[in-house]
Amino acid sequence: MKPFWLLCICLSSLWNVGCSLGNGMLFPRESPSREIKELNGLWTFRADFSKDRNLGFQKAWFLSPLAETGPVIDMPVPASYNDITQDAKLRDFIGWVWYEREVWVPGSWLQDVGRRIVLRVGSAHYYSVVWVNGVKVTEHEGGHLPFEADIGAVARKTPGAPCRITIAVNNTLDLHTLPPGTIQHMNDPTRYPAGYFVQNTNFDFFNYAGIHRPVLLYTTPSAYIDDILVQTTFSDSTGVVSYQVSVVGSDSATVKVSLTDKDGKCVTTSTGASGVLKVPNVNLWWPYLMHDNPGYLYSMEVQVSAQTNYNGLTEDVYTLPVGIRTVQVTTSQFLINNKPFYFHGVNKHEDSDIRGKGLDWPLIVKDFNLLKWLGANSFRTSHYPYAEEILQMCDRHGIVVIDECPGVGIRDIRSFDNKSLTHHLVVMDELVRRDKNHPSVVMWSVANEPAAEMQPAGYYFKTLISHTKSLDPTRAVTFVSNSNYNLDKGAPYVDVVCVNSYFSWYHDPGHLEVIPLQLNTQFENWYGKYKKPIIQSEYGADAVPGLHNDPPMMFTEEYQKTVLQNYHSVFDKKRKQYVIGELIWNFADFMTAQTITRVVGNKKGVFTRQRQPKSAAYLLRERYWGIANETGVLPLWAKYPCS
């Protein structure tokens, strides 16, 4: 049976006369040729609680103001809708929800018929359909990544009236979505009410839904910079930036490129849609705690001039931050700018009270302050792509990123078929397209703990990883395995082996003494077999903040600390050999589905969900600053704060 939401999509295509974009996806930035109008704030909201969740499509809720269709509530954007109200039915809702807001498109935008007016959604979870004034302009599958549509033609049809933007979002996960899930209908009338169904998933975080990232309108001229690719290297003191600019809307555009340093001084220029910029006395992009001037960014200004039908000669300008650095992997090391880099960092989630996965600037800045306090130089975007705004912070602060796609919980053999693989490849295309120019991103992770032992996994991962490498030969590729799983089908293709293990927690619970032996065996076996550098990509233990017991007992702060200490003793031996990183699970406590193994969420954070340190955070801080002191160059303002 087709999931009900797919039926809705087919139905909605009757109104499909808009045009969706499929090429660039540059982060919207203002410039002399581009304007932005943010649409964040309060939207009108209605969840479709009808039995098959299809009432909104049957009654075409997008054709009139949502408030005319039935009861509506206020909903902030960006935010997950789940924790905003007091209604458990909405918190745990599965199916279509409807957002709407009116916007006045500036008259100057409408009058200038040559100007593109683009509606962009930073991300919405999971499947979205967008209408403007009742006209469908785009639809998009997948959370965590942006989508957009040129709405100029629709908006210009009704000058003098506001535009009504309607976005329907469905969080249903099936065997072929990323992440996958299944809808289970409970048909026993003695145990469940009629029509009862639940969403099953194989991942350990709450399936937050809604419009999670900013929505905005931006403009470009009709001939515009659609995409930019930079790839960087250096030789001695000369930086080398190879660039490609793709222009849409003109075959005869002239392209000028200039690179400016942090002081605003132009250091090199070039012309042409592709070329190489040479940067004398280059300031390389260095990770935090590896150099006293980390996160150095140049500004690359791209100017495109073109003759257009509408406005004669027009100019488009886009400025891209550029960090010049290299990445290489040997059989036992990860090199950034030819120097060994040791990942001492964290795994995170986009997760917080009330907003769920909604982008929140105070939270982002707080988290970066905590990362720096901790002495963390890196994180993995477990288990999906994070907001571009977060990656921009990483670029600026020198925090190294393993950029993971939403391939988490792929545990059912049916999720390894061609349909799933095709979608997974599209998601990797979208992820690399979005994040390819971030110097902080050094590695792509195509999945977390997939059932790599299953028969179809070999072909699946070979295809996925080789596709990702062909999209971007300048970075490493990995997938993250659990130490219990057999990596044989994936390991031949990855550059770095990433392994998660939970000794003395999910295995031998309470037996801290087994950790050193079991961890040593894990490393020796895996290195012996695959001869590739290894990152301990997850390890940790739950600690309920404020719960104490000495000698340590599970769930206390003492136990969490002692687990970490036992792991660290082995890391310290192996990091001299082939272990190239350690990423704690997790930076902060986070919400999960309700199960008997979770007490209001996962408590493996070294910070609480409200970002207060548990004892383990101090331990980790001491360790990370110690490693940095040994291997890197501390910033002048922060000479080993733990001494």
Note the residues at the interface with ligand BDP (CB under 6 A): 204, 383, 448-449, 482, 500, 538, 585, 602, 604
The identity of residue 554, as a single letter, is M
Q: CB of 409: closest distance to ligand BDP in angstroms? A: 8
Return the number of the residue (204 or 226) whose C-beta is nearest ligand BDP. Answer: 204
Q: Distance (Å, rounded) from C-alpha 283 to C-alpha 475?
A: 20
Nearer to ligand BDP, 472 or 589 (CB): 589
CB-wise, 434 or 604, nearer to ligand BDP?
Answer: 604
Minimal distance in Å, beta carbon 130 to ligand BDP?
Answer: 31
Least CB distance from residue 482 to ligand BDP, whole Å?
Answer: 6
Shortest distance, position 526 Cβ to ligand BDP, whole Å: 16
Q: Which one from 350, 388, 404, 449 is the annotated catalytic residue? A: 449
Q: How far is the CB of 448 from ligand BDP (least distance, A)?
A: 5
CB of 537 to ligand BDP, least distance (A): 8
Q: In a 3-state reduction of DSSP, which class is residue 166? A: strand
Torsion (CA) 80, 81, 86, 88 in degrees, nearest 10: -90
The secondary element (H helix, E strand) that includes residue 128 is: strand 127-132
**Residue 374 beta carbon to ligand BDP: minimum distance, rounded to whole angstroms:** 19
* CB nearer to ligand BDP: pick between 381 and 482: 482
Distance in angstroms (rounded) separating the CA atoms of residues 392 and 395? 5
Q: Which amino acid is at 194?
A: A
Identity of the residue, 35 or 453, whose beta carbon is nearer to ligand BDP in the bound complex: 453
CA–CA separation, 72 vs 592, rounded Å? 27
Can you read off the two tokens belonging to residue 429?
Answer: 């295309």
Q: Please check whether residue 497 is in contact with residue 481, taking contact to mean a CB–CB distance below 8 angstroms.
A: yes
Residue 327 in contact with residue 402, Cβ under 8 Å? no
Give least dist CB 582 to ligand BDP, A: 15
Distance, in Å, from the CA atom of 446 to the CA atom of 344, rounded to the nearest integer, reads: 21
Active site residue 453: no
Residue 583: what are its φ and ψ, rounded to 5°?
Answer: -125, 115
* Measured distance CA(599)–CA(543) in Å, rounded: 10
Going 231 to 228 to 361 to 611, the CA torsion angle's sign is negative
Q: Are 367 and 399 in contact (CB under 8 A)?
A: no
Q: Please, are residues 226 and 133 in contact by the beta-carbon 8 Å criterion?
A: no
d(CA 606, CA 619): 9
Minimum CB distance to ligand BDP, residue 443 (Å): 17
Q: Which is nearer to ligand BDP, 204 or 351 (CB)?
A: 204
Q: What is the DSSP string of 475-534?
A: SEEEEEEETTS--TTTTTT-SSEEEE--BTTTBSTT-GGGHHHHHHHHHHHHHHHH-S-E
Query: Helix 557-574 to helix 515-530 angle, to the nearest 10 degrees?
Result: 40
Distance between CA atoms of residues 369 and 519, nearest Å: 31
Q: Which is nearer to ligand BDP, 591 or 634 (CB)?
A: 591
Question: What is the maximum span of the chain, computed from C-alpha positions, in angstroms?
Answer: 78
* Token pair belonging to 207: 């399936």
Q: Cα-atom radius of gyration of the chain, to the nearest Å?
A: 25
**Closest distance to ligand BDP from the beta carbon of 589 (Å):** 10
- Minimum CB distance to ligand BDP smaller for 109 or for 479: 479
| 207 or 250: CB nearest ligand BDP | 207
Sign of CA dihedral 523, 524, 530, 532: positive
Contact call for residues 499 and 526 (beta carbons, < 8 A)? yes
d(CA 169, CA 213): 13
Residue number, nearest CB to ligand BDP: 204
Tell me whether residue 348 or residue 436 sits nearer to ligand BDP (CB atom).
348
Q: What is the 3-state secondary structure (H, E, C) of 551-577?
A: CCCCECHHHHHHHHHHHHHHHHHHCCC
Give the whole-angstrom CA distance, residue 472 versus residue 494: 14
Q: Which amino acid is at 52?
A: D
- In this complex, which beta carbon is closest to ligand BDP, that of residue 258 or of residue 536? 536
**CA–CA distance, 425 with 469 (Å, rounded to integer):** 12
Do 167 and 130 touch, CB atoms closer than 8 A?
Answer: yes
Q: 138 CB contacts (<8 Å, ≥6 apart)?
A: 18, 19, 20, 21, 129, 130, 147, 148, 149
Q: How far is the CB of 480 from ligand BDP (least distance, A)?
A: 7
> Hey, which residues are catalytic here?
449
